[in-house]
Amino acid sequence: MVIRDARFVMSNTRVEQCPTGSLPEYAFIGRSNVGKSSLINMLTGRNSLAKTSSLPGKTQLINHFLINDEWYLVDLPGYGYARVSKESREKWGKMIKGYLAKRENLSCLFVLIDSRLPPQAVDLEFINMVGEMGVPFALVFTKADKQSNTRTRQNVQVFLEKMRESWDELPSWFISSSAVKEGRDDLLNFIDDVNRQ
Ligand code: GDP
């Protein structure tokens, strides 16, 4: 897929205020600092479409971008900030669950996982919640350039093994590096394929 056009549309805190219509939608989420903004910018080929290194405590918004007038890319606020208040965490949970439960045109939620780390409880809990809600999702293992290919693949396998403990079927998964533009074609082709289904 060639990205001809990528435009910011709006930011919201409530799913009811998200763009209307039936264009397919692909959302991105993960632990803070997992590389979500960098991945969105790499995919769209725009340097600052998504704001990198968003600070904890910053307003948490659902951000819609329109791609090629054909589909929405959604930047969702991350989870797992260490120093976030209980109140903000609850607000985040309510907003994300509302979005995931009610956004009917959500074609796939990409859950980003730091490829350098062993399976993190916060990621597994989030994935389990998404699965229980019946949301279609895929995994993206980020920052692959930070270690050898062998190590990345080992970490991916460990993560998938961990998922097998509670899942019969594993999701699609991708390896990415925004630093060296790895994974871009795979992800855009996947989106293309889902759009055609
Ligand atoms: P976000 O908080 O999930 O949106 O994460 P950011 O995209 O802001 O990235 C967090 C930090 O990781 C920044 O310093 C990025 O430059 C760095 N980063 C993100 N993706 C990559 C990557 O693929 N490779 C490397 N080496 N660094 C990355």
Between CA 10 and CA 42 the distance in angstroms is 20
Residues 18-36 pLDDT 10s: 999 999 999 999 998 999 9
Residues 58-103 pLDDT 10s: 568 999 999 999 999 999 999 987 778 888 889 999 999 999 999 9
Between CA 76 and CA 60 the distance in angstroms is 8
Whether ligand 1 lies within 6 angstroms of the CB of 184 is answered as no
- Could you tell me the residue ranges of all domains in the chain? 6-196
Asked if 71 and 100 touch (Cβ cutoff 8 Å), the reply is: no
Residue 32 CA: nearest ligand 1 atom is 2
133 pLDDT band (50/70/90 cuts)? very high
Take atom 9 of ligand 1 and give the residue whose Cα is closest. 35
CATH 3.40.50.300 is right for the domain spanning 6-196? yes
56 pLDDT band (50/70/90 cuts)? low
Asked if 73 and 194 touch (Cβ cutoff 8 Å), the reply is: no
Take atom 12 of ligand 1 and give the residue whose Cα is closest. 35
Q: 76: which residues sit within 8 A by CB, 6+ positions away?
A: 27, 28, 29, 62, 63, 96, 99
ipTM of model = 0.99
Could you tell me the distance, in angstroms and rounded to a whole number, from the CA of residue 31 to the centre of ligand 1?
A: 11
Between CA 118 and CA 173 the distance in angstroms is 16
